[in-house]
Amino acid sequence: MPKYDLFELVTHLKKCPEIFLKPSNLLSRDGLDSIALISDTYRMVSAIFLKKELNVPAKINFNSIDDNYWKAIHISCWLLYHHSFRNKPALENKLRLFWFEGLYHVTQYVKYKEWITDEERAEEMVRLLLLCFEILPNGESIAEAADKLSSISSVDRQKVLRQSYEAHERIMNIKREMAEKKAREAANTYGRE
């Protein structure tokens, strides 16, 4: 059983070659052959090199995957090229969960480039993958790993930021209105208080 060192994986991910950042050939003519890339990755993880059919859930429609999402999948394939994921047939079935559920939600908030340029997003992809694989990063307990993922989760963060931004904006608007001259002229006072 290899040690899944988080930082080693993050470092590996950030070295992702340019080629993986090309668009999918399903969206662009001279793009990357996404299906082939996925198949390769399956074969590498499962170690069954003759495997033909893809283990893709029926409800997934490749045509509905947008450019940003495809590129995230491409990048994650590079992550999965890391030697610690090779020949791990037990992980094969979990790949689907990672690609088509875990990654799906988060790609709505993360621009593909951030997966390899932003330290925290890189860590998020690694942690997300390890979570789907039910692997604990080296040296971490279940609780620690869960907390660390939740503290960098783009999905959670998005929700919280929107709330705190809106609440703050409302406060600033009230403050601004309070300073407005029109508010300060007020209205008739009829008695003393």
Partner 1 sequence: MYNQSEIEKTAAVWKSHWQQAKLEWNPLLRLQEPIWCLSNQEAQKEGLTGSFAMIRLTDHRIVINLEEIVALGISTYFIEVLAHEIGHHILAPANLYDNAILLNRIRYALPGIEDRAPMVSNLYTDFLINDKLQRINKLRISEVYKAINSEDNFSELWTLMMRTYEYLWRLNRGELAVNWSFHSKKIDADASLLASLIRSYSKNWIQGGGRFAVLLYPYLMDDKTFNDARKKILILLDAEDAGSGAIEISGMTKLDLEGYDGVIDMRKEAIGLKNDKGNKDNLGIEKSKVGGSGPRNSYMGPGNYIDLMKQVNPNADEQRLINAYYKEIALSHLIDFPVEISENVSLDLPEGLETWDIGDPIEELDWLQSSIASPVFLPGITTQKRTYGSDSDHNISEHPLNVYIGIDCSGSMMNPKLNFSWPVLAATIIGLSALRAGASVMGCLSGEPGTYLETEGFITDETDLLTTITSYLGTGYAYGMERLRKPFETEPNKKSHIVIVTDNDIFSMLDSDTETNQTHWELAEIALKNAGGHGTMVLHSQPDYQKDMVIRLKKMGWNVYYVTNETELLKFASDFSQQNYAYA
Partner 2 sequence: MDESSNPQIALNDEERFPLLDDLSFLNKLRQDEFAPKFNFKSGDRLNAANLLKVKAHKKSYYDQKIFWTEGSSPIWLSDYLQWCVKTVPFYQNKNNTLESFSTIAREDIRKHPHLFVSNEANLAELLVYYTSGSTGPKLDVLFDTATQAKWLPQIESVLEDFRISIKKGKKTTAIALICAQEKTLTYASLSTYLEGAGILKINLNPADWNQPEDAKKYLEKYNPQILTGDPIAFTALMDLEPKLSPSAMISSAMKLTKVTKNKLESYFRCPVIDLYSMTECRNIAYATEKGHKVIRPDLYLEVFDEHKDIPLPYGERGELVVTGGSNPFLPLIRYRTGDFCSLIIENGAPYLIDLEARNPVVFFTKSALKINNIDISNSMSQFPLAGFKMHQRKDKLIQFVGYSNEIIAEEIIAVLNGIFKNDITLDVNIQKISQNNTVEKTQYSSELISN
Residue 185, interface with partner 2 (CB under 8 A)? yes
147-183 b/e with 16+ CB inside 10 Å = b?
ebbeebbbeeeeeeeeeeeeeeeeeeeeeeeeeeeee
Q: Which amino acid type is present at position 107?
A: T
6 touches 79 (CB < 8 A): no
Q: Is 140 in a helix, a strand, or coil?
A: coil
Residues within window 99-128 making contact with partner 1, judged by CB under 8 A: 118-120, 123
Residue 62, interface with partner 1 (CB under 8 A)? no
109 touches 154 (CB < 8 A): yes
Residue 190, interface with partner 2 (CB under 8 A)? yes
Piece of 64-72, 99-107, 125-133, 152-160 that binds partner 1 (CB under 8 A): 152-160
Select the residue interacting with partner 1 from 160, 174, 180, 183 (CB under 8 A). 160
181 binds, among partner 1, partner 2, none (CB under 5 to 8 A by kind): partner 2
Given the complex with partner 1, which of 93 and 164 has the nearer CB atom? 164
Select the residue interacting with partner 2 from 29, 52, 59, 184 (CB under 8 A). 184
120-134 b/e with 16+ CB inside 10 Å = b?
ebbbbbbbbbbbbbe
Given the complex with partner 1, which of 99 and 112 has the nearer CB atom? 112
Given the complex with partner 1, which of 123 and 135 has the nearer CB atom? 123
At 112, phi and psi to the nearest 5? -50, -40
| Environment class of 143 (CB within 10 Å of its CB; exposed 0-12, middle 13-18, buried 19+) | exposed
Q: Give the span between the Cα atoms of 124 and 122, in whole angstroms.
A: 5
Residue 83, interface with partner 2 (CB under 8 A)? no
Select the residue interacting with partner 1 from 33, 147, 174, 180 (CB under 8 A). 147
Residues within window 128-167 making contact with partner 2, judged by CB under 8 A: 167
What is the contact surface with partner 1 in residues (CB under 8 A)?
6-7, 118-120, 123, 144, 147-148, 151-152, 156-158, 160-165, 168-169, 171-173, 175-176
